[in-house]
Amino acid sequence: MKSFFLFTCLVLCHLSFCQKTITGNIVGITDGDTVKLLTKDSTLIKVRVANIDCPERKQPFSKRAKQFTSDAIFGKEVKLEYLKKDRYGRSVGHVIYNDNLNLGKELLKNGLAWHYIKYSQDTIYQGLEYKARKEKIGLWQDQNALPPWDWRDKKRNNKK
């Protein structure tokens, strides 16, 4: 009984830590899916938007994705629903703005990102990408749109 209680407490503590919400202002836009958040205590956090991948620099629609993100959140207070750190030390999470808009979902709706299925099995995100594809919104106007992960692999392989 004691071990079950201890296990339950540990799981709940872990879940509450993983679902931490951080509030701050967006002070920088690196690209469509990476931004800089400044908290009230002046901590600068590099944030990677969860579940999506926007076009890389030099890929079609990269500038549009960055501009969309800038127009949506630059200089605004947002909530980061923190999920984890990635291998580059960025905080990965959901960026919520204008009370209830999710930046990742808005980028997908506007055809400016792919659902990053390698890291997310979220059917809502997949549905948003599918709808944008079907309606040929944004980058889906190009029937040969190359996902950023394939573009990065191709670029790496060309360097060898």
Residues 6+ apart with CB under 8 A from 53: 33, 113, 114, 116, 147, 148, 149
Residues 43-53, mean pLDDT to the nearest whole number: 98
- CA distance from start to end of the chain: 58
pTM, 2 dp = 0.86
Which residue out of 56, 64, 81, 133 is catalytically annotated?
Answer: 56
Q: For residue 71, is pLDDT > 90?
A: yes
Between CA 2 and CA 60 the distance in angstroms is 57
φ, ψ (nearest 5 deg) of residue 22: -120, 135
pLDDT exceeding 90 applies to what percent of the chain?
82
Between CA 65 and CA 100 the distance in angstroms is 20
Domain range annotation of the chain: 20-154
81 is catalytic: no
90 is catalytic: yes
Q: For residue 114, is pLDDT > 60?
A: yes
Report domain 20-154's class.
mainly beta
**pLDDT tens profile 117-149:** 999 999 999 999 999 999 999 999 999 999 999
Contact between 17 and 85 (Cβ < 8 Å): no
56 is catalytic: yes
Which residue out of 64, 90, 133, 152 is catalytically annotated?
Answer: 90
Between CA 101 and CA 78 the distance in angstroms is 10
Between CA 79 and CA 100 the distance in angstroms is 9
